[in-house]
Amino acid sequence: MSAALAVFASGSGTNLQSLLETFGADASTDDAAHVALVVSDRSGIGALDRAERAGVPTAVLAPKAFEDRDTFAAALLETLEGHAIEMIALAGYLKLVPEAVVQAFRGRIVNIHPGPLPAFGGPGMYGYGHHVHEAVLESGVRVSGPTIHFVDERYDTGPIIAQWPVPVLADDDPESLAVRVLKHEHRLYPAVVRAVARGDVRLEDDGRVDYAAVGSAEGPGFALVGIDAALESIDSRWRAR
């Protein structure tokens, strides 16, 4: 059975695109998920165009248009129920997801962040405007990379599922780093969404992430696989000297 996935986006939607290209919009797919809905808080954005081109229904729900947080949350929940949504992937969604939605989807709602968490996260540290990449460059860390986590009631604090190391180069600026990190986002996010949709990666009641059902090649070490590959390439360069 393929899980009906809603992707929440506020921008250009390149992560949405990678999910669309991986899973498609067809509920009868053999894959673990299909994109059944795209939700945005604003109209006129690239993500909505991408959804329409892929034949995926869209819903624009601007928090401002509602009387208060509760009515916004109720409308969001009703929209998700109307499309029989079973899992949510935030992909460049800039609003805080209402508590009622987080609670209804706990363990089935994930987010991608364009930098290492928990160090480079929180309100204001979002990908657009390169705030995260600027902070990474200012800090002097030599490794950045995307983090994928379960969503809780706050920005960027939910249990981490996967990270991928992306080296910070000496001549990087926020734009060049963003481009390099984004490429890895597009690889990592579909793999993690698939693992969560399959139930191979689970959020425990105590907040721990259970990877028991994932093979070692893709498992807790989503990050370790990357580090291995990076070390392998560095080792082979050294050996070739």
Bridge partners (DSSP) listed for residue 115:
none
| Three-state helix/strand/coil letters over the chain | CCEEEEEEECCCCHHHHHHHHHHCCCCCCCCCEEEEEEEECCCCCHHHHHHHHCCCCEEECCHHHCCCHHHHHHHHHHHHHHCCCCEEEECCCCCCCCHHHHHHCCCCEEEEECCCCCCCCCCCCCCHHHHHHHHHHHHCCCEECCEEEECCCCCCCCCEEEECCEECCCCCCHHHHHHHHHHHHHHHHHHHHHHHHHCCCEECCCCCEECCCCCCCCCCCHHHHHHHHHHHHHHHHHHCC
Site for ligand GRF in 202-241 (CB under 6 A): none
Of 63 and 74, which has the nearer Cβ to ligand GRF? 63
| Interface pattern 73-92 for ligand GRF (x via CB under 6 A) | ------------------xx
* 149 has catalytic annotation: no
Give me the least distance between CB of 127 and ligand GRF, in Å please.
Answer: 3
- The one among 14, 79, 139, 176 contacting ligand GRF by CB under 6 A: 14
CA distance 35 to 13: 13
Q: Which stretch binds ligand GRF (CB under 6 A): 22-30, 77-85, 106-114, 201-209?
A: 106-114
149 binds ligand GRF (CB under 6 A): no
Task: Please tell me which residue in 34, 83, 113, 130 is annotated as part of the active site.
Answer: 113
Number of C-beta neighbours around residue 46 at 10 A? 15
By Cβ distance, which residue is nearest to ligand GRF? 92
Site for ligand GRF in 118-137 (CB under 6 A): 126-128
> Binders of ligand GRF: how many residues, by CB under 6 A?
17
114 binds ligand GRF (CB under 6 A): yes
Of 74 and 191, which has the nearer Cβ to ligand GRF? 191
182 binds ligand GRF (CB under 6 A): yes
- The one among 4, 6, 11, 117 contacting ligand GRF by CB under 6 A: 11
Q: Among all residues, which ones are annotated catalytic?
A: 113
Residues found near ligand GRF in the complex (CB under 6 A): 9, 11-16, 91-92, 112-114, 126-128, 182, 185
